[in-house]
């Protein structure tokens, strides 16, 4: 049986180049970057180089890159840090969207408990935040706007440069969770007026537990971890040298092939959309064009997402119904609800996230196994019977 990995938004395999670059930093170059002797300094130079690589990929300066344990940590640091800076000036209002990753939403909820006010912007049916809504929501009390670059479930890409410009003009800090975008879309933090940006290595072929926060020069966030002088004293703890080296190599590799990968992956994804749209009572979630090249997200009425995933798994296809964090619970994903889907429709959702390792054969295999699975599930579903009944009567 064929095996197709189509869940690259959840995580990606570590590339060979990344593994090869990392290995020496676990064996011969095992020194602590804070040590002054040879192997320590070799490690320190490797961390410096990776910092430059990450900075170059974002149009930032190396001094503006702070390594973290991943996207969640970077999100927490940016938001809690900006909130603390705001509170000092009596500004205790934050703006975000309804369909952010939980690393952002739960951080916002924690701040609400601490007396901050948070505005959750609508993302409408197309899954895109409106710049005029951001503008209307900003008040004299606003200390931060945090809007994700691209959504992890439905892949929609937000008007980041426009929001950045608006925030810049209004003197409000702007953070973006760019975990799904880095390595897949062209990003320039200066041109796009981004003050803080979160990224995660394992979403683009580096290892899990690696990531970074870009924090614009002149913006002094409170320290995240007290201790040694690592990360300019702001996030103490001996660096994950192999992981950081891998992150630098992975982001460079992705950025060198940005356009080529974009075109390849988008054409595979469009082939998937075209084929799957032939299934009756199906719909694409979110804007068809303004989305990540590899993101496929559709709902199939009368189908239960969890069963769909299990049956796809039995056919060798790894997919997702929403985010990894929400599957496992019976509530439909907050993302699908935020674009106005009814509970029962949102339950029948399928996310396939492709990347440059996928092939046309993968796509054709998915299109071969998917329709009969949906047909079988619908045959067994009382909900589907109900849908057909209703149609007959109308």
Residues marked active site are found at: 325
Angle at 348 between CA 344 and CA 352, to 5 degrees: 150
Phi, psi of 52 (to 5 degrees): -65, -40
198-to-77, 190, 376 alpha-carbon distances in Å: 9, 15, 42
Q: Which is nearer to ligand PLP, 211 or 302 (CB)?
A: 211
CB of 142 to ligand PLP, least distance (A): 22
Nearest residue to 152 (alpha-carbon basis) of 331, 343, 370, 321: 321
Q: Which is nearer to ligand PLP, 29 or 203 (CB)?
A: 203
Give the SS3 label for residue 42. helix
User: Which DSSP symbol is given to 225?
Assistant: B
Q: Which is nearer to ligand PLP, 118 or 370 (CB)?
A: 118
5 burial type by CB count under 10 A (0-12 exposed, 13-18 middle, 19+ buried): buried
Does residue 90 come out as left (phi exceeding 0), alpha (psi in the -120 to 50 range) or beta?
Answer: left
29-to-22, 35, 52, 69, 237 alpha-carbon distances in Å: 10, 12, 19, 21, 18
CB of 303 to ligand PLP, least distance (A): 24
Binding site for ligand PLP (CB under 6 A): 70-72, 75, 101, 103, 148, 152, 177, 179-180, 200, 202-203, 211
229 burial type by CB count under 10 A (0-12 exposed, 13-18 middle, 19+ buried): exposed
Give the integer Cα–Cα distance in Å for 86 and 107. Answer: 15
Q: Output Rg (C-alpha) for the chain, integer angstroms.
A: 22
Q: Which is nearer to ligand PLP, 324 or 380 (CB)?
A: 324
Tokens (6 digits) for 69: 């344990």
Dihedral over Cα of 102, 174, 182, 205: its sign: negative
Q: What is the dihedral of CA 206, 212, 217, 219, to 10 degrees?
A: 170
Give the integer Cα–Cα distance in Å for 223 and 266. Answer: 40
Q: Which is nearer to ligand PLP, 154 or 311 (CB)?
A: 154
CB of 40 to ligand PLP, least distance (A): 27
CB of 206 to ligand PLP, least distance (A): 10
Give the integer Cα–Cα distance in Å for 238 and 216. Answer: 23
């Amino acid at each position: 049986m064929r095996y197709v990995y189509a869940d690259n938004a959840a995580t990606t395999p570590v590339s060979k180049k990344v593994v090869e670059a990392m290995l020496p930093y676990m064996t011969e170059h095992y020194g602590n970057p804070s040590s002054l002797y040879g192997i320590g300094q070799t490690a320190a130079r490797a961390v410096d180089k990776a910092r430059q690589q990450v900075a170059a990929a974002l149009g930032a300066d190396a001094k503006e890159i702070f390594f973290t344990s991943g996207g969640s940590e970077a999100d927490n640091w940016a938001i809690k840090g900006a909130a603390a800076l705001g509170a000092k000036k009596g500004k205790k209002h934050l703006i975000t969207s309804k369909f952010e990753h939980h690393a952002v939403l739960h951080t916002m909820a924690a701040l609400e408990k601490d007396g901050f006010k948070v505005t959750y912007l609508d993302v409408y049916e197309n899954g895109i935040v409106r710049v005029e809504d951001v503008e209307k929501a900003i008040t004299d009390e606003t200390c931060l706007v945090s809007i994700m670059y691209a959504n992890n479930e439905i892949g929609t890409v937000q008007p980041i440069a426009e929001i950045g410009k608006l925030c810049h003009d209004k003197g409000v800090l702007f953070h973006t969770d760019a975990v799904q975008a880095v390595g897949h879309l062209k990003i320039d933090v200066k041109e796009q007026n981004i003050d803080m940006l979160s990224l995660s290595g394992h979403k683009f072929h580096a290892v899990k537990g690696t990531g970074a926060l870009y924090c614009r020069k002149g913006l002094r966030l409170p320290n995240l971890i007290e201790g040694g002088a690592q990360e300019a004293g702001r996030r103490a703890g001996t660096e994950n040298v192999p992981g950081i080296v891998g992150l630098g190599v992975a982001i460079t590799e992705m950025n060198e092939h940005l356009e080529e990968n974009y075109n390849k992956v988008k054409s595979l994804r469009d082939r998937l959309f075209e084929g799957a749209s032939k299934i009756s009572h199906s719909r694409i979630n979110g804007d068809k064009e303004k989305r990540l090249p590899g993101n496929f997200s559709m709902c199939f009425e009368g189908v239960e997402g969890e069963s769909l995933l299990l049956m796809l798994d039995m056919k060798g296809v790894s997919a997702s119904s929403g985010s990894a964090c929400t599957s496992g619970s019976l509530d439909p994903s907050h993302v699908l609800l935020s674009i106005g889907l009814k509970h029962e429709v949102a339950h029948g959702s399928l996310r396939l996230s492709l990347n440059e390792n996928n092939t046309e054969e993968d796509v054709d295999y998915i299109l071969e196994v998917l329709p009969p699975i949906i047909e079988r599930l619908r045959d067994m579903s009382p909900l589907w019977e109900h849908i057909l009944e209703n149609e007959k009567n109308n």
